[in-house]
Amino acid sequence: MRVTVSGLAVVGLLAVSACTAGTSPPGAASDSARTAAERPTPASPAASPGAPGPPVLTVDQAQAALIGEADLGVPWTAADSTATWHDGLLKATTGQPDCGRLLDALYAEDVVGAPAGPQAVVVLDDGDDAAQLRYQVDASRAADVDRTLAWLRTLPGSCGRFTAQTTGAGAELVQVADSRLSGLGDARQGLRVTLTWQASADADPSTLTLDVAVVRVGDDAIVLTTGALGTLPADTTEQVLRIGVQRLAQVREKGRAQA
């Protein structure tokens, strides 16, 4: 399994509102086989007198909190490259600033911004469904994660349907809808983003479907992006998040016991 320890943040995917052609995502899709890079752990914020703060997630703990191939089973395997649709469909621009911010975040795989501490990332492929999953664990701050969640909640209203222009695939219609995540972690928000384009005037429209989710567990964040041409594998987002939230909670509890 490819695991990356570095500092980034979500993952995103966008949809469009009037479509015309092609596929060309914004920004740099991180190579599936990225090298691990440790981010120094910051000092814990000052706690109120007599109330010690929770221990900061370490690099090893962030890695231990990742999900993997064994959790999802066949056909998921470690990815060795970025999805073919990433650059073609996510590298796009629009005249609506907030929607452009979403597209940029999805292309750069930086939905929540730089973490406060260590970060671990794993990327998996489902060859049967032309799907790719990117799962990230960040040592963060609750207030920072909650600001991201608040922004994500506004997007179905402000960017529910818009058009974007890709660099090589023409225009695409982007649609952003709320994706309900029930009872996961301490706070959460999910989005379903669909991008529809037409390769040529006589071609049938094609669709990329993306699920983007951020879940806060204490001060830490789980960021998940799953994308597929056509239809996403059923229940993958809920399955991954339920396993991941439980694992992160266990890692945090173990860290407290050892502190």
- The reply to whether omega before 75 is within 30° of 0 (cis) is yes
- Tell me: pLDDT of 102 over 90: yes
Model confidence at 155: pLDDT above 60 = yes
The secondary structure of 141-203 as a DSSP string is -HHHHHHHHHHHHHHHHHSSEEEEEESSS-EEEEEEEEE---S-SSEEEEEEEEEEE-SSTTS
Q: Give the model confidence (pLDDT) of 166-203 as tens digits.
A: 977 789 999 999 998 888 999 999 999 999 998 888 88
Question: Which pTM does this prediction carry?
Answer: 0.78
Residue 219 and residue 140 in contact, taking contact as beta carbons nearer than 8 Å: yes
Domains parsed from the chain with CATH numbers? 3-32+57-258 (3.40.1000)
In tens, the pLDDT along 66-81 reads: 999 999 999 999 998 8
